[in-house]
């Protein structure tokens, strides 16, 4: 393990311990979920960065720090719902910035890339004003984050746990899909968290994440885990949802078969090839 990442991990573990050492079992459970999530995101972004030839240390720093704000968020508000508390990406960036840890371990340009990845990882879409290098690491982080959230959620659907408010964002489990959410998904657009009214809306949002993946590794993991089929089993019956799932699966297969036409990460591979 790289020495800089080791030092960053020491800081992160000490930061988390301030919040996880609680007598409140709900806090301990939900923050434990986020700690485990962070570790898996680090593993996933390592695989993605390795395939794309990106800097592993910068990538893993993005993965380790992206949800730092979740710890003070849940401790204060008892929810992971940004709409009912604060934007956790902005809070994560604030926590990291105030700590000064990036300045101790990374140069200015590296620190800027990491901060931009943190700030943009939870947005519906990344702005066009971000630099190519920052966009690359942001998209790797977005892929890794989505994949692990999907794993957490689908595992929860299949084997529910009692302490579910943090995981389900407090959404009611109703036998419907909100019409506006369904229409957005059918149009191939990203569903906003703010538009979700029930748990099935969250499931529709998660199925749509397939179209927002940015690396061949992420698409293969998504397909091999059968996320679309597994989530479909928890949604209402109906031709509209069936058609949506079929379209998403077809698009996923297309992205895997034609990576050169799809993935933003190819800019790094092309740069590396031209330098050889």
Tell me: the pLDDT tens digits for 101-118? 999 999 999 999 999 999
- The answer to whether residues 136 and 168 belong to one domain is no
| Angle in degrees, CA 253, 254, 259, rounded to 5 | 110
- The answer to whether residues 131 and 17 belong to one domain is yes
Return the half-sphere exposure (C-beta side, CA atoms, 13 A cut-off) of residue 15: 22
Q: Which domain holds residue 193?
A: 161-262
Q: Is the pLDDT of residue 266 over 70?
A: no
Say if 59 falls within a structural domain.
Answer: yes
* CA–CA dist 38, 35 (Å, integer): 5
- Reported as a single tens digit per residue, the pLDDT across 37-67 is 999 999 999 999 998 899 999 999 999 999 9
- The answer to whether residues 90 and 182 belong to one domain is no
Give the contacts of 152 (CB within 8 A, at least 6 positions apart). 33, 37, 167
* CA–CA dist 138, 144 (Å, integer): 10
* CA–CA dist 276, 274 (Å, integer): 6
Instruction: Read off the pTM.
Output: 0.87
Of the pLDDT bands very low, low, confident and very high (cuts 50, 70, 90), residue 26 is confident
Q: Is the pLDDT of residue 20 over 60?
A: yes
Identify the CATH number of the domain in which residue 70 sits. 1.10.3210.10
**Phi, psi values for residue 163, rounded to 5°:** -80, 80
What is the domain count for the chain?
A: 2
Domain boundary among 93, 121, 147: 147
- The answer to whether residues 86 and 205 belong to one domain is no
Q: Is the pLDDT of residue 273 over 80?
A: no
């Amino acid at each position: 393990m790289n020495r800089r990442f080791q030092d960053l991990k020491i800081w992160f573990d000490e930061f988390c311990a301030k919040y996880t050492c609680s007598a409140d079992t709900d806090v301990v459970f939900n923050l434990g979920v986020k700690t485990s999530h962070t570790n898996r995101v680090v593993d996933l972004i390592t695989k993605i960065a390795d395939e794309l030839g990106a800097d592993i240390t910068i990538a893993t720093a993005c993965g380790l720090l992206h949800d730092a704000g979740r710890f003070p968020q849940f401790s204060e508000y008892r929810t992971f719902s940004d709409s009912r508390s604060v934007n956790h990406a902005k809070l994560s960036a604030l926590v990291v910035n105030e700590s000064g840890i990036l300045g101790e371990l990374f140069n200015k340009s590296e620190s800027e890339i990491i901060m931009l990845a943190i700030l943009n990882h939870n947005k519906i879409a990344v702005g066009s004003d971000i630099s190519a290098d920052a966009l690359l690491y942001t998209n790797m982080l977005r892929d890794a984050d989505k994949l692990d959230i999907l794993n957490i959620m689908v595992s929860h659907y299949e084997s529910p746990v009692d302490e579910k408010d943090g995981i389900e964002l407090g959404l009611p489990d109703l036998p419907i899909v909100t019409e506006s959410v369904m229409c957005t998904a059918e149009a191939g657009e990203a569903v906003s968290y703010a538009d979700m009214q029930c748990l099935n809306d969250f499931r529709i949002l998660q199925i749509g994440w397939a179209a927002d993946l940015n690396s061949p590794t992420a698409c293969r993991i998504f397909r091999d885990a059968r996320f679309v089929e597994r989530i479909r089993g928890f949604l209402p019956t109906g031709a509209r949802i069936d058609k949506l799932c079929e379209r998403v699966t077809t698009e996923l297969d297309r992205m895997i078969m034609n990576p050169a036409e799809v993935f933003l990460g190819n800019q790094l591979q092309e740069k590396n090839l031209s330098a050889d």
